[in-house]
Structure 1
């Protein structure tokens, strides 16, 4: 590597090592030398800041406890003055709280003492695969993954590009169909792990009795039917990203085991006595309110804080309606290409109807609507009737808007209460129809409790 590299120290130093224990510094420096990397070392925050003023590095490794301060102060200093420099903290065994605080402050990753050289090498390799700023970074950015020019999506893309450079766990919140997995893939695809596996797991689709074997794997003969060794999700995602979709559906017993793996970065397959290190970045998501589940004691608080180091909130489609035309065009192009059909265009009425619709199912519902319309349209134009949009639920309607569908004359003619009762009845019937009569799912769709739905149905004289 050229000594003229923008982020390389003038004496060939790629890494700044900060630790007040000389033996730790020597261990880290020798490991880096074997990897072909030069380093500078410092024993205090002041020495580290002086070296940062004089040199440019590609990575900083710092202990959390230093004689004149803590590593957290150095993390914040680097975030403010050397924004492109990844910094990893070294924490005492069992001090995960410090690691989480450092990640929130901007640290790239962490190592626990005693330092595992295998984990150190994995961390260093991931850093040195990081895309650099400027022309060498290529043209790839979050816009290749997420479509839309609204202010909400612009903020999402900017945050994703920052998150891609970190190894901190990310929690993606948002309604069903809002693009949480697409955001997770963008974080993976723009980061140093892009060439490694992205393993997506639907936590709600795995039977409880298979959770441990699916996540951690098993050894041949570990139980009846285990006729060969099997790698779990963590092994499959080694070096890459493990995406835990609908993480709120994990049973409490599995949450405990998952927490330990995240903290220790080690996995033991069923039937084995020894653990093996795993290098996995965790990204999780759910449409449920995870904080509320913690308050209800249905989700472990300690696991919540490990997963929710940085939160990315995906906006609902109704919160970025200006993106619907561009989204519709992109989806139609892909759907038509997959079907081997010419790309149709939307009529003016169809476009206006899509922009006015509430889309409780978000982007996923928009895609399903367009796929249906593509099959129904008789020519190269999709008309309003081809969309076959569902009636707008009251929870989705904006009564202050002209597109709300509120009929003031009917309310005056029939009486406000009767009008509202009928609207409520139709909304409940619509929700029950969408959920095949499942009242629990219908209540969730209507954003009311099950008890409230039952009361409303009784009040309206609707049979259960």
Structure 2
């Protein structure tokens, strides 16, 4: 099997020689060029698996080469060699379509990691890792087809991507698919909800800590950056980061290194950053609550996820998928949607997007009779669309409740067990006693792990 072939473009002989030797030791053949014109000649006569180019060349700049390769040889990843600390140049290159960048003086380990990642791009993927996200990014609408194309393109880059969209529209699924379609597929995908971490624990959670560095630090603990090393860190609800953490996150992204709490030495990390929020980050920057320089770093490329109301033609396909998924979870056949119910779904604005559609169908699944979901089973006019139980008795003992969802689930479990005991575990009689369908009881027994 032939060795991979790389094109090295730099007008400094010493740099070219260093890159040739380093790649040669990785069993990668090389061709070299000292100008744009020479690079174009090589590209027109041979197929390359990778291109490394300097920014400043005698007859132009590396950005022109990046654009040329993107247009004519899109399967060939290009990495930009930039001056030390020049992040503006690096970001410009990434926006133009560069796979990644490495700064001078060239860190050879960083170069080897970059080259290894780039060469994985055109290798066949492992289908097993992609199944979950591919199935859920369903739809045949123009908007969703365009989104899938953008995801495939962005998966070939290492550029930070900012995923914008309304709550429930599927931003994490998009982030996971970018990871699954890229060269980091065999490394971890670590999602983190930035709004769910207490401020005082945030630095430790992201960067880790050393034993004894603060009260409660009884062991050394790696952080999220280390957990995602060689993979992808997905920062969901990034707008919720406090200003103090924004500064530290910016430095970690720029330097590609972190310092765990209580240590003096920095640790190199190779992490691709994807971020998302349902808030308007540009507005938060203007208001002064989100750092402009961090916004500039994470928003190299913005990817917009369309709301469900802009792709209502996808609702039948999504509905079929969700009903099959719910049915599989409790070993039942999926019910059908009546024409009237389907029309109602297609005309409903779904402010909660795909997540609300799934919740609506889950509720209708438990309410419907004779394997047919009717319009009334959807209950889209109900105020409470997410809970099967509503507390009306204000005297209920809610003191000490840490999770409303767990509390309601416990009440539901107790009511079902009581009904089953009173009917000697006759499920049909228990369902009647509870005033729900047999299907609803089967579903809840499975969900509450009571079978």
SS in 1 for 2:120: coil
Query: Residue 195 of structure 1: which of 186, 197, 201 is its match?
Result: 186
Question: Does residue 323 of the first structure (1) align with residue 324 of the second (2)?
Answer: no
Please state how far the C-alpha of 1:202 moved relative to its aligned partner: 0.3
Please show how residues 360-371 of structure 1 align to structure 2 within 5 Å: 360-371=351-362
SS in 1 for 2:341: helix
State the alpha-carbon separation in 2 of the partners of residues 214 and 243 from structure 1: 14
State the alpha-carbon separation in 2 of the partners of residues 20 and 276 from structure 1: 33
State the alpha-carbon separation in 2 of the partners of residues 34 and 175 from structure 1: 48
1:62/1:159 Cα in 2 relative to 1: closer, same or farther (>3 Å)?
Answer: same
Aligned-residue CA RMSD in angstroms?
A: 1.8
Q: Deviations over 1:428-448 (max 9, x none)?
A: xxxxxxxxxxxxxxxxxxxxx
* Gapped regions of structure 2 (runs ≥ 5): 384-451
State the alpha-carbon separation in 2 of the partners of residues 15 and 267 from structure 1: 31
- Paired residues of 2:75 and 2:122 also in contact (CA < 8 A): no
Q: Deviations over 1:340-364 (max 9, x none)?
A: 2221111112111111111000000
Match of 1:283 in 2: 274
Task: Report the count of equivalent residues.
Answer: 380
Query: Residue 117 of structure 1: which of 101, 108, 120 is its match?
Result: 108
Please show how residues 264-275 of structure 1 align to structure 2 within 5 Å: 264-275=255-266
Q: Deviations over 1:21-55 (max 9, x none)?
A: 22222222222122111112222222222221222
Q: Deviations over 1:42-99 (max 9, x none)?
A: 2222222222122211111111122222111111111122111100101112110111
State the alpha-carbon separation in 2 of the partners of residues 155 and 384 from structure 1: 32
- Paired residues of 1:107 and 1:166 also in contact (CA < 8 A): yes
State the alpha-carbon separation in 1 of the partners of residues 251 and 126 from structure 2: 38
SS in 2 for 1:39: strand
State the alpha-carbon separation in 2 of the partners of residues 358 and 320 from structure 1: 10
- Paired residues of 2:307 and 2:353 also in contact (CA < 8 A): yes
Question: Does residue 93 of the first structure (1) align with residue 84 of the second (2)?
Answer: yes
TM normalised by structure 2 equals 0.81
* Gapped regions of structure 1 (runs ≥ 5): 3-11, 393-464
SS in 1 for 2:64: helix
Please state how far the C-alpha of 1:391 moved relative to its aligned partner: 6.1
Please show how residues 206-355 of structure 1 align to structure 2 within 5 Å: 206-355=197-346
Please state how far the C-alpha of 1:143 moved relative to its aligned partner: 5.1
State the alpha-carbon separation in 2 of the partners of residues 13 and 320 from structure 1: 43
State the alpha-carbon separation in 2 of the partners of residues 217 and 138 from structure 1: 31
Please show how residues 146-185 of structure 1 align to structure 2 within 5 Å: 146-185=137-176
Please state how far the C-alpha of 1:387 moved relative to its aligned partner: 1.1
State the alpha-carbon separation in 2 of the partners of residues 144 and 364 from structure 1: 15
SS in 1 for 2:273: strand
1:145/1:31 Cα in 2 relative to 1: closer, same or farther (>3 Å)?
Answer: farther
1:19/1:53 Cα in 2 relative to 1: closer, same or farther (>3 Å)?
Answer: same
SS in 2 for 1:128: helix
State the alpha-carbon separation in 2 of the partners of residues 264 and 138 from structure 1: 31
Bigger mean CA deviation after superposition, 322-331 or 26-35: 26-35
TM normalised by structure 1 equals 0.79
Q: Deviations over 1:112-135 (max 9, x none)?
A: 222222211111111121135xxx
- Paired residues of 1:164 and 1:188 also in contact (CA < 8 A): yes
